[in-house]
Amino acid sequence: MRSFISVDIEDEEVLSTLHDLTREVSNTDAKVNPVPRENLHITLKFLGDIEDTRVPEIKKIIKQYATDVEPFPLTLVGMGAFPSTKRPKVVWIGAENDQKLKNIANNISNDLERNGFRKDRHPYHSHVTLARIKWYTDQLKNVIATNEDTKVGEILVDNIKIKKSELTREGAIYSTVEKIELTGS
């Protein structure tokens, strides 16, 4: 099962704004593969292909950090790109005041690595992927620059999900395998 750990974007107003920004990126003359509205999320860790039997172990690791943290607000703001805005391959919206989320993601990642999961190649960066770019243009780079300070809105991080990703001809279909509540107890 191809899977990842995420915080889903569930606020309708924030989803609408993210979708509008995705359309703005898609309407450039660049070759763009937009993320569908229903798939917008913040990835905490990509797990890759795992056996279903590992889900309880992953859930246990997430739960030990989720139960220590109370639900908290996270502000989504600022369009950017990986690896850089000069050579965008992935266009995203970032987050500010995201230290709690970074701590959770890093703790989960470190524990998973100790349990045989692969190490992340890059430091954790809180973001919502809007689109993957096949080839970029100046018009796309201008859209990114114009939106570098755009405030999308605030979400409440109150749960973490283990998601399954099924690749189809129409694109990826995500489904929730497990949901772990942030309880702060």
The question of whether 19 is a catalytic residue gets the answer no
Q: Which residues pair with 58 in a beta bridge?
A: none
Q: Rounded distance, CA 131 to CA 42, Å? A: 13
Catalytic residue, chosen from 19, 122, 125, 127, is: 127
DSSP label at residue 71: -
DSSP label at residue 87: S
Q: In whole angstroms, how far apart are CA 178 and each of 77, 122, 160, 175?
A: 28, 26, 8, 9
Q: In whole angstroms, how far apart are CA 24 and each of 48, 50, 145, 147, 182?
A: 30, 35, 12, 10, 34
Tokens 């309708």, located at residue: 12
- Kindly list the catalytic residues: 41, 127
